């Protein structure tokens, strides 16, 4: 498939001090309103305190570029979360709540949405795409679908989209917590009316599937206060080394460039700068200054060997050790999905006690399908209820639309507490 067809598919479709609105788990002060400026939302705080999900800044917004959306209230939000090392950091996101009353029984559910790849620079975040619409408006129809169901939408940007930062691309141990904490934050926004006892769903495609998959695996241990009832993940980068091997030198090498620079951002103690030649230094600037389409265009056909002083292969890069003895390869392996997982009664590190819907297109061409297939088998073998659909007559970009109806039906059933037909 040509890169131009991917571009065509994608086109379808307070303030300065950042004083927390909620601190130390205390109840929200009713006198405080969401009055931050747009600039405040994206200004990183000097230090991050408070509990995961605490609101650091928020402001009303309009989701101008979400088509056919119902009447709704929306906010941009900066909130507390944790990165892959367990360090408290701030992240940005969007919360939207339909104005119509929820009448389908119980409390209004919340759909936590993790975005598809937007690029690594701070200008690329989903919260900016939904309000400015300057590019990459390919997810908007699916978001409209969630909102028209009457569900509250809590959409993280992921970690690393505040000013001067670099996104931790496909790092589910960082973006997974952010996807859970944006739901906690949504419940603390004054006037939002997101119920604390509502059911929660986790959804994402491509990079977002890595995020929602990790959020699903982390939910029981990291966010036991959330009543997560289901998760969907499609077109999943489940194994980073396998993805890197297929992306290197391909038309879609830009995704690998995002991955490598994202790893540098989360693990600055590891060798990186000293390995790069002039082309590598320019490549880092390109990654940080371009969003999805620009990054794919710049790096089409690029090979990682050409950006290092010694023309290091991926395997050679994996073997390089950091100051603590950990290698880049070990870091990559630690970010794979489906490791040390199990059902709710297991002794696994990551317990998943709710159904998961996994899917990919039959003509998937960007990511290797074997790790996705293996994730389904692992979940079955370890007692995690899941269903896996690989029959969509679509490739990577268009599967997000091809599977949209099944994703909606999955969450309709989960939010209505209907029985799940296990696909194992």
Tell me the CATH number at 157: 3.40.50.1820
C-alpha–C-alpha distance, residues 38 and 196, integer Å:
26
What b/e string do you get for 328-364 counting C-beta neighbours within 10 Å, with b at 16 or more? bbebbeebbbbeebbeeebebebbbbbbbbbbbbeeb
| Domain final residue pick, 284, 311, 334 | 334
Query: Do 346 and 376 have their domain in common?
Result: yes
Task: Pick the closest to residue 94 from 182, 219, 226, 208 (CA basis).
Answer: 182
With vertex at residue 222, the alpha carbon angle to CA 216 and CA 225, rounded to the nearest 5 degrees, is 90
Residues 56 and 199 both lie in one domain: yes
When pLDDT is cut at 50, 70 and 90, the band that residue 29 belongs to is very low
Tally of domains in the chain:
2
With CA atoms as reference, report the closest residue to 337 among 409, 234, 414, 201. Answer: 234
Interval 406-419 mean pLDDT: 98
Do residues 247 and 203 both lie within one domain? no
Same-domain pairing of 30 and 168: yes
Predicted local confidence at residue 99, as pLDDT: 97
Q: Are residues 18 and 151 in the same domain?
A: yes
pLDDT, tens digit, 9 for 90 and up, residues 150-161:
999 999 999 999
State the CB neighbour count (10 A cutoff) for residue 221. Answer: 10
pTM: 0.92
Task: Taking residues 233-256, report their average pLDDT.
Answer: 98
Is position 247 within any domain? Answer: yes
Per-residue pLDDT, averaged over 51-79, amounts to 94
Asked whether residue 131 falls in the same domain as residue 195, the answer is yes
- Looking at the DSSP bridge assignments, the partners of residue 55 are 79
Other Cβ atoms within 10 Å of 301 Cβ, number: 10
Structural domain contains residue 256: yes
User: Crossing angle of helices 253-266/278-289, nearest 10°?
Assistant: 90
Q: What percent of the chain has pLDDT over 70?
A: 91
Is residue 420 a part of any domain in this protein?
A: no
Containing domain of residue 263, as a range?
A: 242-334
Q: In angstroms, rounded to a whole number, what is the distance separating the alpha carbons of residues 175 and 330?
A: 19
Asked whether residue 149 falls in the same domain as residue 167, the answer is yes
Whether residues 227 and 295 fall in one domain: no
Same domain, 144 and 161: yes
Task: Write down which residue in 305, 334, 363 finishes a domain.
Answer: 334
Q: Is residue 421 part of a domain?
A: no
The answer to whether position 424 is within a domain reads no
| pLDDT over 50 (residue 247) | yes
∠ Cα 314 319 324 (to 5°): 135
Is the predicted pLDDT of residue 387 greater than 70, yes or no?
yes
The phi and psi torsions of 414 (rounded to 5 degrees) equal -65, -45
What's the rounded Cα separation, in Å, for the pair 272 and 251? 24
Q: Is residue 192 part of a domain?
A: yes
> Domain check: are 316 and 342 in the same one?
no
Based on the fold, state whether residues 181 and 322 are members of the same structural domain: no
Average pLDDT over residues 140-146: 91
| Same-domain check for residues 44 and 186 | yes
């Amino acid at each position: 498939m040509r890169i131009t067809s991917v571009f065509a598919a994608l086109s379808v479709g307070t303030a300065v001090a950042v004083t927390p609105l909620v601190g130390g788990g205390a109840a929200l002060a009713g006198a405080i309103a969401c009055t931050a400026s747009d600039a405040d939302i994206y200004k990183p705080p000097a230090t991050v305190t408070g509990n995961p999900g605490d609101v650091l800044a928020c402001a009303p917004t309009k989701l101008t570029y979400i088509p056919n959306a119902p009447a709704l209230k929306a906010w941009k939000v900066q909130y507390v979360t944790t990165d892959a090392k367990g360090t408290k950091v701030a992240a940005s996101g969007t919360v939207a709540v339909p104005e119509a009353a929820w009448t389908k029984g119980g409390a209004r559910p919340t759909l936590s949405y993790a975005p598809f790849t937007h690029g690594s620079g701070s200008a690329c975040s989903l919260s900016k795409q939904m309000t400015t619409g300057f590019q990459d408006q390919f997810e908007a129809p699916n978001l409209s679908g969630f909102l028209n169901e009457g569900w509250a939408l809590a959409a993280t940007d992921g970690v690393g989209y505040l000013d001067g930062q670099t996104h931790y691309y496909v790092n589910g141990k960082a973006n997974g917590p952010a996807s859970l904490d944006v739901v906690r934050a949504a419940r603390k926004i004054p006037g939002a009316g997101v119920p604390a006892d509502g059911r929660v769903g986790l959804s994402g495609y491509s990079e977002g599937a890595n995020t929602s998959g990790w959020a699903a695996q982390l939910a029981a241990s990291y966010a036991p206060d959330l009543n997560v009832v289901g998760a969907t993940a499609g077109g999943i980068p489940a194994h980073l080394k396998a993805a890197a091997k297929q992306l290197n030198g391909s038309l879609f090498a830009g995704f690998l460039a995002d991955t490598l620079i994202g790893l540098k951002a989360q693990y600055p103690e590891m060798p990186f700068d000293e390995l790069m030649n002039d082309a590598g230094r320019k490549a880092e600037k390109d990654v940080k200054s371009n969003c999805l389409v620009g990054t794919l265009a710049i790096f089409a056909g690029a090979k990682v060997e050409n950006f290092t002083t010694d023309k290091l292969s991926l395997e050679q890069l994996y073997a390089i050790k950091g100051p603590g003895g950990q290698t880049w390869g070990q870091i990559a392996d630690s970010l794979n999905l489906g490791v040390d997982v199990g059902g709710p009664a297991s002794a696994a590190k990551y317990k998943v006690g709710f159904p998961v819907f996994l899917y990919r297109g039959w003509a998937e061409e960007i990511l290797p399908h074997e790790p996705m297939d293996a994730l389904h088998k692992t979940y079955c073998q370890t007692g995690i209820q899941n269903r896996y659909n690989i029959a969509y007559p679509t490739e990577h970009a268009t599967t997000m639309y091809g599977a949209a109806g099944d994703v909606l039906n999955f969450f309709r059933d989960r939010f209505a507490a209907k029985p799940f037909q296990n696909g194992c």
